[in-house]
């Protein structure tokens, strides 16, 4: 019998002597991939259309306000920074509901989570990097419109320096309110996306939640047609004294309730007036509980995948 023989071939493989970036490099790679996925970069032109359309929709109110301010020289009372956040939050919620599932659902549906974990990367690192990628883009959208609006108000003022001196507190308020708005808008759709591997289901659920909760909040705080107090400018809701609590069921208004307090803005609308009657700790606590709870659900769901 002949003995098996073998040959050795020198294919030119060399030992890697470069820097070993380890876990932080893996985190960065997941973050960059999430950033590109959100904007449709590195994919076909169709994947870029929706993100940039929504970006334009988010910037449109600020651009329109800037044009009006420059043409009228601030003779027209424009909505302030607080109102701008309330307007743009609707666009951002739609943007998040449609785009956020792209970051999580395909990886689970294609079963590639285990491939990520082959690298020096924990499941917490993966979730945090995905969350941070979407948060950064949302924050850029939130702040970019405010920067345009602020610059237009300053430059169209009769004395720009005097305007800044009188309104400089708007800058930290813009930063704080924008951070809270972006954190909420990022966490909610990602938490929902963690519970299903179907992007359409996640997007439909989030949008449906906003529509249904908004309609319910509006109905529960609507005026009682048989109440005569409306003649004095006040409105008694059909739910009576419970109306100020039931107005909190509108999920889309959770960050806006805190935003109103940050800017010390006057409450407009029956629902906002009712919520303003509550202690300030209530809207703030609701925001923290809801955002923190959703973040925990997101983390917990992915921890279960590795058990």
Position 112 in a domain: yes
Q: Comparing 267 with 122, which gets the higher pLDDT?
A: 122
- Burial (0-12, 13-18, 19+ Cβ within 10 Å), 59: middle
Which helix (H) or strand (E) segment holds residue 78: the answer is none
Q: Does the structure show a pLDDT above 80 at 307?
A: no
Three-class SS of 240-286: HHHHHHHHHHCHHHHHHHHHHHHHCCCCCCHHHHHHHCCCCHHHHHH
* pLDDT of res. 232: 46
* pLDDT of res. 277: 79
* pLDDT of res. 4: 67
* pLDDT of res. 270: 64
Position 206 in a domain: yes
Mean pLDDT of the region 38-62: 79
* pLDDT of res. 39: 85
Position 6 in a domain: no
Tokens of 201: 């289901």
Helix axes 45-72, 123-155, angle to 10 degrees: 30
* pLDDT of res. 204: 94
Task: Please give the mean pLDDT across all residues of the chain.
Answer: 83
Residue 95's domain comprises: 24-305
Q: Does the structure show a pLDDT above 60 at 195?
A: yes
Position 1 in a domain: no
Position 8 in a domain: no
Position 14 in a domain: no
Q: Please answer whether residues 200 and 278 qualify as being in contact, where contact means their C-beta atoms are separated by less than 8 angstroms.
A: no
Q: Mind listing the pLDDT tens digit for each residue in 139-179?
A: 998 898 888 888 888 887 778 888 788 888 889 999 999 99
Mean pLDDT of the region 264-269: 67
Q: Mind listing the pLDDT tens digit for each residue in 89-115?
A: 888 888 899 999 999 999 998 888 888
* pLDDT of res. 234: 61
Position 223 in a domain: yes
Position 52 in a domain: yes
Q: Comparing 21 with 83, which gets the higher pLDDT?
A: 83
C-alpha 160/C-alpha 157 separation (Å) is 5
Give the number of domains in the chain: 1
* pLDDT of res. 62: 81
Q: Mind listing the pLDDT tens digit for each residue in 220-254?
A: 777 766 555 544 456 677 777 777 788 788 898 89
Q: Does the structure show a pLDDT above 70 at 77?
A: no
């Amino acid at each position: 019998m002949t003995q098996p023989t073998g040959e050795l071939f020198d294919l030119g493989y060399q030992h890697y002597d470069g820097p070993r970036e380890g876990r932080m490099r893996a985190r960065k790679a997941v973050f960059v991939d999430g950033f590109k996925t959100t904007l449709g970069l590195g994919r076909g032109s169709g994947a870029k259309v929706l993100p940039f359309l929504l970006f334009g929709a988010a910037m449109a109110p600020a651009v329109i306000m800037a044009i009006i301010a420059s043409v009228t020289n601030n003779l027209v009372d424009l909505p302030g920074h607080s109102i701008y956040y309330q307007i743009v939050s609707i666009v951002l919620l739609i943007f998040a509901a449609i785009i956020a599932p792209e970051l999580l659902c395909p990886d689970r549906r294609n079963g590639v989570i285990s491939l990520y974990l082959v690298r020096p990367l924990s499941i917490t690192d993966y979730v945090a990097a995905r969350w941070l990628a979407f948060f950064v883009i949302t924050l850029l959208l939130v702040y970019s419109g405010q920067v345009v609006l602020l610059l237009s108000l300053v430059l169209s003022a009769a004395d720009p320096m005097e305007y800044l001196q009188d309104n400089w507190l708007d800058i930290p308020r813009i930063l704080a309110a924008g951070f809270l708005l972006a954190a909420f808008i990022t966490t909610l759709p990602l938490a929902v996306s963690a519970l299903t591997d179907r992007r359409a289901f996640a997007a439909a659920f989030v949008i449906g939640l906003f529509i249904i909760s908004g309609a319910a909040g509006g109905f529960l705080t609507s005026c009682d047609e048989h109440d005569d107090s409306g003649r004095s400018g006040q409105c008694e809701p059909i739910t009576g004294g419970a109306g100020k609590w039931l107005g909190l069921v509108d999920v889309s208004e959770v960050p806006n309730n805190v935003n109103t307090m940050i800017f010390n803005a006057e409450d407009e609308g029956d629902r906002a007036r009712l919520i303003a009657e509550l202690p300030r700790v209530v809207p703030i606590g609701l925001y923290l509980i809801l955002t923190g709870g959703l973040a925990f659900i997101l983390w917990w769901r992915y921890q279960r995948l590795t058990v």
